[in-house]
Structure 1
Amino acid sequence: MGLLGFFTRKPHERAGFELYSAAVGAARRPGFFAGLGVPDTLDGRFDLVSLHVALLIRRLRRDAAAEGPKLAQAVFDAMFADMDVNLREMGVGDLVVGKRVKRMWEAFHGRAAAYEAAIDAGDLAALEAALTRNIWRGEVVPEGAAARLASYAQALAERLAPQAMADFTRGRARFDVEVPA
């Protein structure tokens, strides 16, 4: 490989970052924090981003198009490249960043698997339990908040399902499900 090979982008890299950015934007809506009482902490924000990215990746992986799984991987790569950068910007030392990103990666996979299993089974109670465990992490959950967040997640999965792969490959996804109050 010549020197120019180091400067080429991976296929779907740009779309992956744009889709990830859309998921982050959706996860940062104030209604999650004000209306549902999601902790406005580093962990709370990570968990909301994880929920949105997990639902997006689930949708992409299930597409019949060959680009689906590749684009899902690009979104995952974008997420953890961003986590790495954010940790470094927060002053986490180079020797520790890799370990923290690995723990975040493992946490994401556990959450994504729990959310996917519950949604695939149509089990809102299991989804609510997983969200309670992961989002509020043993803190007091405001009355009905976990159930409303589970309904939101189910609605978002349904909203993502019919969106066209052509839009996803252009980095466009619609997360336009209203945050429950």
Structure 2
Amino acid sequence: MAASRQPAFFTGYGVADTVAGRFETLSLHAGLVIWRTETLPEPGPDLAQDLTDAVFRNIDIALREMGVGDVAMPKKMKVMAQGYLGRTVAYRTGLHEPETDVLARALARNVYGDENLYESADCQRLTRYTRRLHEAYEPLSLETIMARPLPVVVASDVS
């Protein structure tokens, strides 16, 4: 979660410093580490589910602090869970597609709200960052993930 809150995303990548923008950076980071964890041998998949549950518990707390009530919470959480899942599938697909613009288009669509912005400097920078983050997470073992802290790609270091 801390990696998703790096100020550079909101000052240098053009990500909106809003609840929606913060959800985008959280979805990106959590999705990549959860993806790596669920591909590991047992108990990797169980740990991945625990991480997912923890992310959504934190989202629940944040929404309640912002004033979302008990009646509206289930619908809000369902929408956010569906959005998270769609994003993680799109990013995973993009990271393994030989065409380099698949990931950029997914990021542009979700983070910037317009797939046509995939060639923008901000989106290209976020695409490079995402690839570096994936490369940092890909070799992690279950022991490394459980020991923490995870490797952090410093957003301001990616040009």
Larger Rg: 1
Matching residue of 1:57: 34
Matching residue of 2:131: 154
Q: Which moved more, 1:140-149 or 1:80-89?
A: 140-149
For the 8 Å contact 1:38–1:44, the answer to whether it is kept is yes
Taking the aligned partners of 2:4 and 2:155, their CA distance within structure 1 comes to 12
Matched residues, percent identical?
36
Q: Within the alignment, does 1:48 sit opposite 2:25 as a pair?
A: yes
TM-score by length of 2: 0.90
Alignment of 1:3-152 (within 5 A): 24-63=1-40, 65-138=41-114, 143-152=120-129
Unaligned runs of 5+ in 1: 1-23
Shift of 1:88: 1.0
Shift of 1:89: 1.0
Q: Deviation string for 1:86-143 (max 9, x for gaps)?
A: 1111111101011101100000000000000111224430110010010011399594
TM-score by length of 1: 0.80
State the superposition RMSD in angstroms: 1.9
Taking the aligned partners of 2:77 and 2:28, their CA distance within structure 1 comes to 17
Q: Letter of the aligned partner of 2:45 in structure 1?
A: P
Unaligned runs of 5+ in 2: none
Q: Deviation string for 1:68-102 (max 9, x for gaps)?
A: 11111111000111111111111111010111011
Q: Letter of the aligned partner of 1:107 in structure 2?
A: G
Q: How many residues align?
A: 157
Q: Letter of the aligned partner of 1:175 in structure 2?
A: V
Taking the aligned partners of 1:75 and 1:123, their CA distance within structure 2 comes to 30
Q: Secondary structure at the match of 2:93?
A: helix
For the 8 Å contact 1:118–1:127, the answer to whether it is kept is yes
